[in-house]
Amino acid sequence: MNKGRKISSGKYHLNRKKKLFERQGQERPVILGEHKSKTMRTRGGNIKSLMLKANIVNIASRGKTQKAEIKNVLETPQNKFFARQNRIMKGAIIDTSLGKARITNRPSQEGCVNAVLIKEQ
């Protein structure tokens, strides 16, 4: 069977292209480094703060929030190779000055890094 062909050997054609709002946005990975961010205009004239590099995290533990320095990215649930590239993303386990922490937000979308401390066993 020939892919993209009808039984009568005619071609299947797309009935329309994707519209601008349906297209996927550009991937902006947040990596470990000196803080760097920029703002972007979004649909409706709103403004989104994009983070490109980060080295400080807001850590919540026992009802208090503290700032800590990110030392290294230990593991990422999406792909083990992202940890080797020191990519900071939701669910990643990072090593900080206060101990191990898990990132709870999406830094590339929100412009800051939030995490919770992981209890050591």
Cα 46 to Cα 20, 43, 79, 81, 112: the distances in Å are 17, 6, 32, 34, 18
Amino acid in the structure at residue 18 = K
Residue-wise pLDDT for 53-107, tens only, equals: 999 999 998 889 999 999 999 999 999 999 999 999 999 999 999 999 999 999 9
CATH architecture of the domain covering 27-117 = Roll (3.10)
Domain residue spans of the chain: 27-117
Q: How far apart are the first and last CA of the chain?
A: 57
Identify the DSSP state of 4: T
Which residues have CB under 8 Å from 53's CB, separation 6+?
A: 30, 31, 32, 33, 34, 35, 36, 37
Q: What is the pTM of this model?
A: 0.78
Residue-wise pLDDT for 21-55, tens only, equals: 888 888 889 999 999 999 989 889 999 888 999 99
